[in-house]
Amino acid sequence: MLVAIHNNERVFATEGGVGYCPECHESLIPACGDIYIHHWRHKPESICTYGAGETTWHRRMKSLFPIECVEVRHGVNRSDVLLQNGTAIEFQNSSISITDIKTRRMSVDRMIWMFNLEKQADRDQLSVDGNMFWYNRPKEIFHLCMPHLFWYCSDEMILKVNYMNDDIVYDNVTGYNKKITEGRCEKITLTEFVERAMKYDEQFKQPEKPPEIVQLKLFNINPQHD
Ligand SMILES: [Zn+2]
């Protein structure tokens, strides 16, 4: 976790700092290495699971926002980021269930989802040409996160998915049909993502015009099977 409580204030971890878990109220240990994002962790004997299993990527994304917005509880959920304008941001590094997505979405007005697809982009499972993308490991889950769906590929390339469609295509290499997701996106940087999120505006809203249907060509898709 990034944020602990001390004297009723929200505090980031600092060398020798004091902080208590917002869930179990136990005293925490500040983890302040040179490489990783500073964070808090429970003492080894603690049985509290809050903050456990968090990845460096997850912590790094949260650390880009002001402390008052990070790890904010609302109702039964705690959002990674909850902006002053009522928009919650969830960063997903691992898989999440459809039920989880629906539950989290119910408690806030607007939700922005960012999934880490860095590995998929590296392995060419996700390819981009202009504002078109092809993803050869389609997931039903992504459709639930529209229209505020972002895919993290690198700090320089975050895709805002504006339109997506699942399709069955014939794979010349393997001779089998396979399912892919294709669609339109906008490429932005991580810095731009944070700037936009902080001033949630028209850019995050779904386009009012129906998406243009285009004939897609297959591009750089490697045979992959789940
Ligand atoms: Zn705890």
User: 3-state DSSP call for residue 205?
Assistant: coil
25 CA distance to ligand 1 middle (Å): 6
In the predicted structure, residue 201 carries a pLDDT above the cut 60: no
Neighbours of ion ligand 1 (CB under 5 A): 21, 23-24, 48, 50
186 CA distance to ligand 1 middle (Å): 39
Specify the higher pLDDT residue, 141 or 221: 141
Q: What is the pTM of this model?
A: 0.83
What band does 204 get if pLDDT is binned at 50, 70 and 90? low
Q: How many residues does the chain have?
A: 226
For residue 85, what are its two tokens?
């304008």
Q: Write phi, then psi, for 117 (nearest 5 degrees).
A: -115, 30
Mean pLDDT lowest among 47-61, 156-170, 199-213: 199-213
For residue 65, what are its two tokens?
């926002």
pLDDT at 205: 52
